[in-house]
Amino acid sequence: MMKTLAITLGLIVSAPAFANDVVNIYSFRQPFLIQPILDDFTKQTGIQTNVVFAKKGLIERVKREGKHSKADLVLTSNFSALIQLEDLKLTQTIKSDSVNNNVPAAFRDGEGQWVALTKRVRNVYSSKERVGALPNLTYEELADPKYKGQICTRSGKHPYNLGLVASMIAHHGKADTKTWLEGVKANLARKPQGNDRAQVKAVKEGLCNLALGNSYYLGKMLQDKEQKGWAEAVNINFPNQINRGSHINVSGAVITKFAKNPENALKLIEYMTDNKAQNMYASLNMEYPVKPGVQLSSLVASWGSFKEDSLPLDEISKYRPLALKLIDEVKFDL
């Protein structure tokens, strides 16, 4: 079991300090999201877990600590962080037939430097009262002047939106994506702000009619007494079903370059990509399992099946720097 201690710079979840039967984790994912999975891993293997949690700064910390870092594993909440860790050469190769069998090639690095653990869709939420469901909506359509003053979103530079913009570049090229960004900016109801849940709240309050948000947030809001009303006010739409499919982002894991317990880190990744943990991710966190064939939660299943954009994450990652540049050029957040 994990013992928690909140501190200013993050949250440390501690087992007997850095013994041989542990795996030391730096996590962008909040402890309550992963604690049941880690507890079961310990129950199954006897390997204890130490977790350092922070919303930001963990990549810089791993880099700064270098060979003295105690991190064996980094758990990320988005694809951009996986790419940053790889680009900074802070990872080592994940060599596992089990992982390769569990995770489709599109959701793991071709060189084995990272692996996805869960999938989430970049959905568009629409007001039930003022708009209704939009089954044929596309991301491209968000730039249509008919939606002027109707769209809410968080910062364009947030990894969730950055991934979407990178995918647009991959599909349409630099020039068309810049034009699209300018169109979306012109349609914003307010300056980008807040998190994904705040956008759904804004739709409920009538500040906007459409909002970008990740799929699992709707499930979490429906379980929250205060936020349930926000979630019940919107439809969840899966963009681009009429063509390439909806953009997918992922949470994931890397084994760090200077891991002191790489074997235990690999065992944890193997566990997290296999049936039991994938089922727990689905039922507890309302996420889409990365392993094919794992049952969805009943709520997520109720949203229906959908087509995923099949573009590999490796391909999308090439355009992340350009995506950030274009977001700055159009002054999206200003």
Annotated binding site for Fe cation: 216-217
CA distances from 98 to 143, 268, 274, 290, 296 (A): 43, 12, 8, 13, 21
Tell me the pairing of strands 48-53 and 10-14.
antiparallel
Residue 77: strand, helix, or coil: coil
For the CA atoms of 169, 174, 177, 178, what is the dihedral angle to 10 degrees?
140
Residues in binding site: 216-217
The answer to whether the CB of 194 falls within 8 A of the CB of 161 is no
For the CA atoms of 328, 62, 41, 119, what is the dihedral angle to 10 degrees?
10
| Angle in degrees, CA 159, 198, 295, rounded to 5 | 65
Alpha-carbon gap, residue 62 to 68, rounded angstroms: 9
Nearest by Cα to 181 from 196, 202, 161, 204: 161
